[in-house]
């Protein structure tokens, strides 16, 4: 039971990291990323492939972060002149292309068989039986570190400029902000966090295949952010927990309704997740918690 | 090469139907409908249901499915999109992704992941000067061209079409002039449902029915609409033909598994070099 609890908390940490990434890309900069799963896959595969080649865990993680951030920056260039809808489709198309590469370039990615036996970092130091607990502790430390880093970014002048771009890029440009540079940076920062989450995913499961980086990952991340309140990292932690409890709680659904097959129960869970997302959008669009603002919310909230 | 060109034209025509649907809803509601792939799939399954369980021939089953999906689309519009129409367009976009997720999993719930086929007779392909054209392709050409002609007539010649174009141009002005927005929007979704069902049935006739048939076309459909200048249904047709031909002819050089990857590259190039689409006009942002 402790093992199960540790596993759940590790999943929550990964979900929180993905949520942080979306929160800076979408929540702060207003840039929508429908291809999160693809970037996650890039991070995980970079870390996995390098580790298999004998690169140590920390360097592999750093490489995953840098690669994902660089690719994110490239993809975000699609918004040079355009509104955010185009970024949504570009990232989605990117994600599909990543999946195709993962499935077909067998020499690099192992194809649909995936990559097995990814070496875990520090496993010699920590030992096998306590490793899960150590890994959870590492995840929590990393989540905290990313939280404080992002928080300082969000409160910095850079963060304010980002929100200005989100609210009205023409005005921001008129005020002398380099809109494109701000957007590319924000997307790259988000990409770096996704890359970190991807590397942790690869090390935790020690096995990855293309099926794990499909659209549902993106939907979960959006769900966490929307439930938690777009733009609020503190709310996000609550949001990610709520989504994970929903996901894990409904896993036991099939014990209560035995007339469903496993496949049907799985679909039903996903239907509930999707419906939940739509209901939150309709009835509580601001989520559980609202975003950080400099002035008091009473006077500041004139944009909606 | 000629064969690839012909196949490309046919698959382009197929992509054109959902691309028109995407452009119409985008023009009127100002958001990109990411559930378009799931709508194609739903249309195909509805037709499959009527075709196999009720035993109706596909020529009867397809129109019934089209009407059903049109109704479902109107229900989704009234139940979801209208409720959040005051939110920014990104929220609507995310909602449409949620809708896609739900539709796809409802299908998985009832039908599982098994591959199915429609109950139709198989016929020998026609051949002409070494070019082969099978009956499904012939059907695709006939159905898509008739559907496009109908859409063009509706847009250019009817009251509804004028209302749609007016709202697409300037929603507030249209409302001031007494155009009923809600009704026009409902009709737009109905047309969208019919077009996506037709596409779904045609895709299913040419191959199989599985829960991902529509989603597999999502990137191509968006690429077509963007190339055509999103919101412009006639541009979408041209964009779809380009995408179809590029996808099929590139199959001569690149593995066919990368079909969607090709669309992604074309899309990225168009966005970087000519963001308003090949047939769109640059607009001054307000």
Residue pairs spanning A and B at CB distance below 8 A:
129
Interface contact A267-B226, CB threshold 8 A: no
SS3 of A54-86: the string is CCCHHHHHHHHHHHHHHHHHHHHHHHCCCCHHH
Nearby residues of B157 by Cβ (< 8 Å), 6 or more positions away: none
Of the candidates A90, A84, A85, A54, which has an alpha carbon nearest to the alpha carbon of residue A71?
A: A90
pLDDT of residue A129 exceeding 90, the answer is no
Q: Which of residues 199-238 of A touch B (CB under 8 A)?
A: 215-216, 219, 222, 226
Q: Tell the residue number behind the tokens 């019919």, with chain if given.
A: B194
Q: Tell me how far apart the alpha carbons of residues A49 and A55 are, in angstroms, rounded to a whole number.
A: 9
Would you state the pLDDT for residue A293?
56
Q: Tell me how far apart the alpha carbons of residues B261 and B247 are, in angstroms, rounded to a whole number.
A: 9
Q: What is the mean pLDDT of residues A84-96?
A: 86
Integer CA distances (angstroms), B77 to A73, A142, B192, in order: 35, 42, 12
pLDDT tens digits along B150-180: 999 999 999 998 888 888 888 888 888 888 8
- Cβ of residue B212 closer than 8 Å to a chain A Cβ: no
Q: What is the mean pLDDT of residues B172-198?
A: 90
Nearest CA in chain A to B31: A85
pLDDT tens digits along A230-240: 878 888 888 88
Of the candidates A129, A119, A12, A103, which has an alpha carbon nearest to the alpha carbon of residue A55?
A: A119
- Cβ of residue B285 closer than 8 Å to a chain A Cβ: yes
Q: What is the ipTM of this complex?
A: 0.86
- Print burial letters for A60-98: b (CB count within 10 Å at least 16), e (below 16): bbbbbbebbbebbbebbbbbeebebbbbbbbbbbbbbbb
Confidence grade of residue B286 (pLDDT, cut at 50, 70, 90):
very low
**pTM (2 decimals)?**
0.89
Tell me which H or E stretch contains A88: helix A84-104
**Residue-averaged pLDDT of chain A:** 86
Reported in sequence order, the residue ranges of A128-207 that DSSP labels E, i.e. its strands, are none
Q: Which of A30, A96, A219 is the closest to B260 by Cβ? A: A96
pLDDT tens digits along A43-69: 999 999 999 999 999 999 999 999 999
Q: Which of B31, B97, B255 is the closest to A104 by Cβ? A: B255
Q: What is the mean pLDDT of residues A268-281?
A: 87
Contacts of A274 in chain B (CB under 8 A): 98-99, 101-102, 105
């Amino acid at each position: 039971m402790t093992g199960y609890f540790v596993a759940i908390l590790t999943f929550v940490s990964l979900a929180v990291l993905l949520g942080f990434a979306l929160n800076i890309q979408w929540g702060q900069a207003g840039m929508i990323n429908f291809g999160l799963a693809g970037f996650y896959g890039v991070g995980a595969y970079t870390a996995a492939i390098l580790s298999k080649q004998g690169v140590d865990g920390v360097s592999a993680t750093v490489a995953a972060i840098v690669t994902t951030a660089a690719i994110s920056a490239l993809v975000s260039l699609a918004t040079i002149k355009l509104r955010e809808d185009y970024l949504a489709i570009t990232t989605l198309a990117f994600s599909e292309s990543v999946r195709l590469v993962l499935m077909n370039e067998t020499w690099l990615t192992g194809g649909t068989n995936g990559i097995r036996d990814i070496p875990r970092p520090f496993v010699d130091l920590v030992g096998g039986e306590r490793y899960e607990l150590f890994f959870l502790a590492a995840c929590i430390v990393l989540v905290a570190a990313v939280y404080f880093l992002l928080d300082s970014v969000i409160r910095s002048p850079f963060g304010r400029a980002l929100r200005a771009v989100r609210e009205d890029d023409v005005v921001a440009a008129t005020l002398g902000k380099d809109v494109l540079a701000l957007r590319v940076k924000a997307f790259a920062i988000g990409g770096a966090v996704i890359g970190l989450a991807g590397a942790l995913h690869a090390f935790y499961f020690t096995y990855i295949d293309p099926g794990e980086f499909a659209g549902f990952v993106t939907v979960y991340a959006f769900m966490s952010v929307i439930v938690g309140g777009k733009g609020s990292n503190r709310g996000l932690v609550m949001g990610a927990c709520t989504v994970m409890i929903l996901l894990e709680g409904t896993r036991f659904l099939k014990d209560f309704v035995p007339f469903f097959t496993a496949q049907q129960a799985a679909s039903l869970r996903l239907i509930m997740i999707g419906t939940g997302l739509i209901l939150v959008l309709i009835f509580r669009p601001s989520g559980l918690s609202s975003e950080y603002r400099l002035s008091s919310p009473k006077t500041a909230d004139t944009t909606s | 090469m000629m064969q690839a060109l012909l196949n490309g034209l046919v698959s382009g025509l197929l992509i054109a139907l959902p691309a028109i649907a995407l452009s119409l809803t985008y023009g009127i509601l100002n958001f990109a409908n990411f559930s378009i792939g799931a709508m194609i799939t739903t249309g195909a399954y509805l037709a499959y249901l009527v075709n196999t369980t009720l035993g109706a021939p596909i020529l009867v089953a397809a129109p019934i499915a089209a009407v059903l999906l049109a109704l479902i689309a109107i229900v989704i519009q009234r139940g979801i999109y209208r409720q959040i129409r005051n939110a920014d367009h990104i929220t609507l976009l995310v909602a449409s992704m949620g809708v896609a997720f739900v539709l796809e999993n409802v299908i998985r719930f009832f039908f599982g992941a098994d591959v199915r086929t429609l109950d139709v007779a198989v016929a020998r392909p026609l051949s002409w000067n070494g070019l082969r054209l099978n009956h499904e392709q012939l059907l695709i050409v006939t159905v898509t061209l008739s559907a496009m002609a109908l859409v063009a007539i509706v847009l250019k010649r009817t009251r509804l079409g004028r209302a749609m174009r007016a709202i697409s141009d300037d929603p507030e002005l249209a409302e001031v002039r007494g155009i009923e927005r809600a009704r026009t929007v409902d009709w737009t979704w109905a047309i969208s449902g019919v077009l996506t069902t037709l596409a779904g049935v045609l895709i299913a006739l040419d191959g199989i029915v599985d829960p991902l048939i529509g989603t597999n076309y999502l990137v191509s459909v968006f690429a077509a609409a963007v190339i055509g200048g999103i919101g412009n249904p006639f541009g979408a047709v041209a964009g779809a033909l380009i995408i179809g031909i590029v996808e099929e002819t590139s199959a001569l050089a690149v593995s066919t598994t990368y079909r969607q990857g090709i669309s992604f590259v074309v899309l990225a190039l168009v966005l970087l070099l000519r963001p308003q689409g090949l047939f769109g006009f640059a607009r001054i942002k307000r």
